[in-house]
Structure 1
Amino acid sequence: MLKIQRIAARQSLQTVRMASSLADYAQYKTLNVTQPVEYVVHVEMNRPDKLNALNTEMWKDLGVCFQQLHEDAECRSVVLSGAGRLFSSGIDLSDLMAVGSVAMGDGDVSRKAFKLHRTIKNYQDWFTDIEKCRKPVIAAVHGACVGGGVDMVTAADVRLCSQDAFFQVKEVDIGLAADEGTLQRLPKVIGSRSLVNELCLTARRLGSQKALQCGLVSRVLSDRQVLLAAAISLAATIAQKSPVAVQSTKQNLIFSRDHTVQDGLDHMVAWNAAMLQSEDIMKAATASMDRKAPPADFAKL
């Protein structure tokens, strides 16, 4: 009886901690942030009536939210999705018109350029916060993923999609070059530079099966419900592992992507000179040797 009471007390305390952690995310008007299982946070873009079009408020909410997740010890992996009929229709055209009015308005060219520079840089940084977040981010894409949506998911670590999903680098159709990360990250995600160039120069749609074939996504699921279940299950698997190992792996994968092999190896030597001293190694090794033992319980990071 005492053991049952202790288990119940631990579960009650965990529920309180989860509720307290989630209360910190209630500030975001354009996002719905939940915790479907322990240490997994689900960030859902929540403008379904606007097809999750990216306005400035949502863009900023995403950046600040992922900065917060970066530091949140109750989070070890993240699922990013969109509410309603589709993932995201891209930039909100009303916001695009507001930016365009600065360019077309009267005034000194240099001063307008400085103002636009700040705006574009803010948008870029808010998406880069997804990539910089120490916790692995799994993008779950259903329906359309257009324009800014593609910029966003290329900053994620893993991409899954539903059968009805398609991806479209739409910017050339509205008279501009994609400036929030697609032209920089997509060539490193897809193996074919020719295909990247074609998609970006023509704005044609890339369907789910083609996205799987070229490596933009790693799995195609039947529908949104199955997609979210698969994304949360994957995030839960990651969250069960050592946060030291997972977060170190993410950071070094990104470092090695942007550096030579030797630079990556040298960086790994310096990194693991510290991380090999982690208590998590002994816990993981012990759990691996005894298959009947419960999974290792790793301390928060």
Structure 2
Amino acid sequence: MTDTADSLDSLDNLVSLRVTRSGHVAEVTLLGPGKGNAMGPDFWRELPVVFRTLDADPQVRAIVLAGSGKHFSYGLDLPAMMPGWAEYLTGEALAAPRTAFLDEIRTLQESVSSVAAVRKPVIAAVSGWCIGGGVDVISAADIRLASADAAFSVREVKVAIVADLGSLQRLGAIIGEGHLRELAFTGKDIDAARAERIGLVNEVHPDREALLTAARELAEEIAANPPLVVRGVKDVLSVNTEQQVTAGLRYVSTWNAAFLPSKDLAEAVQAFMERREPNYQGE
């Protein structure tokens, strides 16, 4: 693929994402720089810039979103993100730091929501691991495809966090409340076969190369249709869930700003850094 659109020139210096274009299809690739394309400060800053730029580009009619290397994303880059949140997450945090943390959560939510808000269809192509924040991002896409080695996890509960970036708000309409509650309560991993059975992904392909080929072909098929009509279809479909998602995101951001700090969260972070199983006490 080659980038030929003048309006994409501003995206040349990205750190966490790469954007290319072929014809009317743009491809956004997660680059990390954290291991497994983990999502650190650069990612959350750059994601909305990329999708707003693609939204404004009249030459782009469909978007493919994929991870570089073997994995889509390990999710939130905890080592990169936690130092900046230390003040917010102590049990002694008063109104000012909690309000600042509320603003931080809503900024991250808006970053993910930029994927849903773009007026061109977005196809997420998932290979390898798609964990936590990765699931939030693909939940904001219009269509999800996977390779046979893909694995998914709404894993926030495992690190003493209520998922707050969109999975709990968007996945119910995609996979149904029963499946969503099971995944969110347990934090379990599911493979590509189950993801297809429950409707999280539309199709499973043998490997990453076949997956990307299928995603690009589907994007080209969409891009061949009248662009304003496709945009209208997405707009009409989004009305069904948009208000509910917005209200849910606002509620969970307020809930987490109030209740996220806990001894269990501190234990989760410590256990992660020490590479051991956490011992939760419900405190």
Give the TM-score taking structure 2 as reference length.
0.81
**Displacement, 1:17?**
8.6
Q: Percent identity?
A: 36
Q: Distance in 2 between matches of 1:49 and 1:258?
A: 31
The 8 Å contact of residues 99 and 116 in structure 1, kept in 2 or not, is answered as no
The 8 Å contact of residues 79 and 231 in structure 1, kept in 2 or not, is answered as yes
Asked whether 1:24 is paired with 2:10, we answer yes
**Displacement, 1:97?**
1.8
Structure 2, unaligned runs of 5 or more: 245-283
Secondary structure of residue in 2 paired with 1:134: coil
- Within a 5 Å distance, the mapping from 1:117-266 to structure 2 comes to 117-191=102-176, 193-258=177-242
Identify if the C-alpha distance between structure 1 residues 16 and 129 changes in structure 2 by more than 3 Å, giving closer, same or farther.
closer
Q: Which moved more, 1:52-61 or 1:105-114?
A: 105-114
Q: Distance in 2 between matches of 1:143 and 1:200?
A: 20
Partner of 1:61: 46
Q: Distance in 1 between matches of 2:34 and 2:70?
A: 9
Q: Distance in 2 between matches of 1:66 and 1:82?
A: 16
**Displacement, 1:105?**
5.2
The 8 Å contact of residues 156 and 187 in structure 2, kept in 1 or not, is answered as yes
Can you list the C-alpha shifts for 1:157-213, whole angstroms capped at 9, x where unaligned?
Answer: 00000000011011011111100001100111113x222111101110111011111
Can you list the C-alpha shifts for 1:3-36, whole angstroms capped at 9, x where unaligned?
Answer: xxxxxxxxxxxx999253442321322111111x
The 8 Å contact of residues 44 and 83 in structure 1, kept in 2 or not, is answered as yes
Identify if the C-alpha distance between structure 1 residues 156 and 104 changes in structure 2 by more than 3 Å, giving closer, same or farther.
closer
Partner of 1:71: 56
Bigger Rg over Cα: 1
Can you list the C-alpha shifts for 1:250-301, whole angstroms capped at 9, x where unaligned?
Answer: 01101024579xxxxxxxxxxxxxxxxxxxxxxxxxxxxxxxxxxxxxxxxx
Q: Which moved more, 1:167-176 or 1:89-98?
A: 89-98
Partner of 2:271: none
Structure 1, unaligned runs of 5 or more: 1-14, 261-301
**Displacement, 1:96?**
3.8
Asked whether 1:33 is paired with 2:19, we answer yes
RMSD between aligned alpha carbons? Answer: 2.1
The 8 Å contact of residues 25 and 62 in structure 2, kept in 1 or not, is answered as yes
Q: Distance in 2 between matches of 1:176 and 1:257?
A: 24
Q: Distance in 1 between matches of 2:122 and 2:93?
A: 42
Q: Distance in 2 between matches of 1:234 and 1:195?
A: 27
Identify if the C-alpha distance between structure 1 residues 49 and 113 changes in structure 2 by more than 3 Å, giving closer, same or farther.
closer
The 8 Å contact of residues 48 and 84 in structure 1, kept in 2 or not, is answered as no
Amino acid at match of 1:207: D
Partner of 1:294: none
The 8 Å contact of residues 21 and 74 in structure 1, kept in 2 or not, is answered as no
**Displacement, 1:49?**
5.7
Q: Which moved more, 1:107-116 or 1:82-91?
A: 107-116
Amino acid at match of 1:199: L
Q: Distance in 2 between matches of 1:91 and 1:97?
A: 10
Number of equivalent positions: 244
Amino acid at match of 1:231: A
Secondary structure of residue in 2 paired with 1:18: coil
